[in-house]
C-alpha cells in the first residue's frame, strides 16, 4: 500500500509540475489498448482491493471501449474517460446516463449507484493520475472497486494521460448542426434489381425518419418519452449512393474521391457482388463504420475492432459448414471430390472447404477450372463414376449447372454439395437427384416465424416499397434500425467508434427480422451470425428446402 502511495505522490508531483507535456500519446494508446507499458511489459494492477492482475488481462479498452465513452455491462457503469469530458466539471447530467437508467434492464444495486450524486470538479493532470493509480476522483470519492488501480511509473502515467487528453473535441465527419450524412455503396456487378431494392428501402426509411424528426422539432413542448430533452441531438438524415465501376483494384481510389467531396458519418447497407476488401480497407483507413453490407465475400482477416460489420463470413462460412457436414457423414477413407470455378467466389469457397475438411482429417481431391464447360464435364464424369461426395463451387454464375443436375447424372454418388445460391436453380429437381443434393445455407429456415417480419412487411407496404428481394431488403432494414437505435442512445455524442460499440450492444436485442436465426455481436466481433444449416430439397416444405443438419457453427 505504501508503494502505491509513493507512486501516486511522485506521479502527481511530476504531472502538476508541467511534465505532462512530455507524455507520448502513441505509447499511451498502446497502454490503453494492450495494457503494455513503455518498457514493453504488461503493467500491473489490483482490483477489488487485493486481486493482482496484469494489463493484458484488464486493459483500459476492455471496459472504457475504443471510443472512450464507456457504457454498462454486468450491472456496472463504466464512465466516459475522453479528455474533453474529464477536463471539464461534471454536474451529473441525466441525459448522459439516460440510456443506462431507462433503456436497459438493470438490477437494483445499479439503479441505486446511478442515483448517487455524480458531480465532481474538472480533472487536471495530477488528479487524473491519482484516479488512475489510486482510484480517487477530484472530489475525493473512491471510484468503483472494480476499476483496476494501476501501478504505473511516471513515464507510463504521463503517456496514458497524454493519450486520454488527445481524445475528444475532434471534428466528426458527416455531422453538421442540423444534418448527418450517410452513404450506401453499390458495386458494379450488382444487378439493377438488387441495387434498386436496396436504394428504395434506404430512401423510404430516410423519408420516414426525417418526417418524425421534423414533427418533434416543430413541437418541442410535446414530449412523450422525454424526447424534448434531447432535441439538440436531432439531425436530418441524408443519403448519398456511391456507385462503383471497373475492377475492385480501382474501388479504393473511387471511394476516396467521393469521400473527399462529401464525407459521411457511416456507410449503411449496400450491395457488392464481388470482394468487399477494397471497401473495407477504405472504411478502416478513414474510420468510417460500414454497417451490414450485403456481400458473399466480406473482409475476414484481421477484422477485430475494425470498422466493418457483417452478417456472416459469406462463402468462407458456407465452405466450412458444408465441409463439416460432408466429413461428419463420411468417416474414414471417404472419397471426397471438389470442383470449383477459378473466380473469386469459387476459389474462396473451395479454399475454405478444403482447409476445414483437412483440419478434420479428411482427404479431398480438388480441381479448379477457368472454363465453365470443362468444370461441368469433369464434375459429370466424376458423378457417374460414383464417389462418396462431390462438392461443386460454380462461381458467380450458377445456371450453367442445370445440365448436370436436371438429368440426374449423379450415378452412385451419395452427396452433391452446392452453395446457397444454387437453390433457386434446382428447386424443381425430383427423384434420386433431389435426395442427393445438399446446400450450405447461412440464413434462417424458410417458414420460420420472427414477429418483427410482419411489422417490417407492413412498414414497407405502407410506404409503397416493393419487396423484390426479401432477404436483401430485410437485411438493409436491419442495418438501418441498428443505426437508428444507436443514434438514439448516442444522443449528442457523435463518434464513429461509439456508433460501432452501440451496435455491438444492440444487435442481439429484439430487432432481428428473420434473415438469420440469431444476430449478436460482442466487443470487437464483426460477424453477427456465426453458423449455417445444410439444406436438402423437400417439395413439402416452405421454400421447397428443409434442414438436413443442426445449426453448424464451424
Q: With a cut of 70, say whether residue 1 has pLDDT above it.
A: no
Give the confidence band of 218 by pLDDT, cuts at 50, 70, 90.
Answer: confident
**CA 358 from centroid of its chain's CA atoms:** 29
Take residue 423 and report the three cell numbers written for it: 437453390
Residue 226 has pLDDT above 60, yes or no: no
Rounded to whole angstroms, the Cα distance separating 448 from 455 reads 15
The cell for 532 is 449455417
Residues 186-197: pLDDT tens digits? 999 999 999 999
Q: What is the pLDDT of residues 493-534, one digit of tens each?
A: 999 999 999 999 888 887 899 999 999 999 999 999 999 999
pLDDT given for residue 10 in this prediction: 45
Q: Is the model's pLDDT at 6 over the cut of 50?
A: no
At residue 2, the pLDDT reads 40
- Which distant-in-sequence residues (6+ apart) come within 8 Å of 469 by Cβ? 193, 194, 197
pLDDT at residue 315, as a whole number? 98
Contacts for 341 with CB less than 8 Å, ≥ 6 apart: 347, 368, 369, 370, 372, 375, 393, 394, 395, 396, 397
Strand, coil or helix: 236: strand
Q: Where in the chain is the domain with CATH 3.40.50.2300?
A: 179-312+448-522, 315-441+534-547
Name the CATH superfamily, with its identifier, for domain 315-441+534-547: Response regulator (3.40.50.2300)
Q: Tell me how far apart the 2 most distant CA atoms of the chain are, in Å.
A: 85
Q: Dihedral of CA 444/525/62/86: which sign?
A: negative
Asked whether the beta carbons of 366 and 391 are under 8 A apart, the reply is no
Q: 54 near 486, Cβ under 8 Å? A: no
> pLDDT by residue (tens digit) across 115-169?
666 788 999 999 999 999 999 999 999 998 889 999 999 999 999 999 999 998 8
Q: How many helices (H) and strands (E) does the chain have?
A: 20, 17
Question: How does pLDDT run across 360-390, given as a tens digit for each residue?
Answer: 989 899 999 999 999 999 998 888 777 889 9
Residue carrying C-alpha cell 462418396: 388
Q: Which class in CATH covers the domain with range 179-312+448-522?
A: alpha beta
Amino acid at each position: 500500500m505504501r508503494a502505491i502511495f509513493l507512486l501516486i505522490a511522485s506521479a502527481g508531483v511530476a504531472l502538476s509540475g508541467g511534465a505532462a507535456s512530455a507524455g507520448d500519446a502513441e505509447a499511451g494508446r498502446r497502454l490503453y489498448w494492450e495494457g503494455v507499458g513503455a518498457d514493453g511489459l504488461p503493467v500491473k494492477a489490483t482490483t477489488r482491493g487485493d486481486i493482482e492482475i496484469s494489463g493484458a488481462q484488464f486493459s483500459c479498452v476492455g471496459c472504457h471501449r475504443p471510443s472512450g465513452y464507456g457504457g454498462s455491462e454486468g450491472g456496472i457503469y463504466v464512465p466516459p474517460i475522453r479528455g474533453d469530458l474529464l477536463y471539464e466539471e461534471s454536474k451529473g447530467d441525466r441525459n448522459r446516463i439516460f440510456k443506462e437508467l431507462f433503456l436497459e434492464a438493470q438490477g437494483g444495486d445499479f439503479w441505486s449507484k446511478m442515483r448517487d450524486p455524480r458531480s465532481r470538479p474538472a480533472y487536471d493532470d495530477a488528479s487524473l493520475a491519482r484516479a488512475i493509480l489510486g482510484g480517487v476522483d477530484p472530489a475525493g470519492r473512491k471510484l468503483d472497486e472494480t476499476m483496476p488501480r494501476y501501478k504505473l511509473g511516471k513515464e507510463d502515467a504521463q503517456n496514458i494521460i497524454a493519450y486520454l487528453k488527445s481524445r475528444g473535441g475532434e471534428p466528426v465527419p458527416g455531422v453538421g448542426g442540423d444534418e448527418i450524412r450517410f452513404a450506401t455503396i453499390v458495386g458494379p456487378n450488382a444487378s439493377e434489381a438488387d441495387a434498386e431494392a436496396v436504394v428504395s428501402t434506404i430512401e423510404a426509411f430516410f423519408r420516414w425518419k426525417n418526417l418524425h424528426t421534423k414533427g418533434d422539432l416543430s413541437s418541442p413542448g410535446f414530449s412523450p418519452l422525454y424526447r424534448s430533452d434531447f432535441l439538440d441531438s436531432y439531425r436530418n438524415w441524408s443519403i448519398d449512393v456511391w456507385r462503383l465501376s471497373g475492377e475492385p483494384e480501382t474501388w479504393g481510389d473511387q471511394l476516396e474521391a467521393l469521400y473527399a467531396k462529401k464525407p459521411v458519418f457511416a456507410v449503411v447497407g449496400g450491395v457488392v457482388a464481388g470482394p468487399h476488401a477494397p471497401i473495407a480497407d477504405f472504411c478502416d483507413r478513414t474510420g468510417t463504420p460500414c454497417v451490414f453490407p450485403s456481400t458473399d465475400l466480406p473482409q475476414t482477416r484481421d477484422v477485430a475492432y475494425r470498422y466493418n460489420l457483417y452478417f456472416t463470413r459469406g462463402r468462407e462460412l458456407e465452405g466450412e459448414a458444408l465441409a463439416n457436414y460432408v466429413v461428419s457423414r463420411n468417416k474414414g477413407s471417404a472419397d471426397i471430390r471438389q470442383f470449383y470455378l477459378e473466380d473469386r467466389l469459387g476459389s474462396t469457397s473451395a479454399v475454405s472447404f478444403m482447409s476445414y475438411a483437412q483440419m478434420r482429417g479428411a482427404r479431398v481431391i480438388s480441381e479448379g477450372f477457368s472454363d465453365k464447360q470443362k468444370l461441368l464435364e469433369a464434375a459429370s464424369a466424376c458423378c457417374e463414376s460414383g464417389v462418396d461426395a462431390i462438392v461443386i463451387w460454380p462461381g458467380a454464375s450458377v445456371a450453367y449447372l442445370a445440365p448436370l443436375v436436371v438429368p440426374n447424372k449423379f450415378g452412385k454418388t451419395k452427396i452433391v454439395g452446392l452453395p446457397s445460391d444454387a437453390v433457386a436453380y434446382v428447386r424443381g429437381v425430383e427423384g434420386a437427384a433431389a435426395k442427393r443434393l445438399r446446400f450450405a445455407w447461412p440464413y434462417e429456415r424458410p417458414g420460420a416465424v420472427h414477429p418483427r417480419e410482419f411489422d417490417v412487411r407492413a412498414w414497407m407496404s405502407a410506404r409503397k416499397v416493393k419487396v423484390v428481394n426479401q432477404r436483401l431488403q430485410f437485411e438493409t432494414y436491419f442495418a438501418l434500425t441498428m443505426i437508428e437505435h444507436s443514434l438514439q442512445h448516442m444522443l449528442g455524442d457523435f463518434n464513429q467508434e461509439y456508433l460501432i460499440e452501440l451496435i455491438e450492444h444492440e444487435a442481439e436485442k429484439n430487432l432481428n427480422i428473420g434473415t438469420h436465426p440469431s444476430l449478436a455481436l460482442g466487443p470487437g466481433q464483426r460477424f453477427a451470425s456465426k453458423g449455417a444449416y445444410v439444406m436438402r430439397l423437400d417439395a413439402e416444405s416452405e421454400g421447397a428446402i428443409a434442414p438436413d443438419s443442426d445449426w453448424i457453427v464451424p
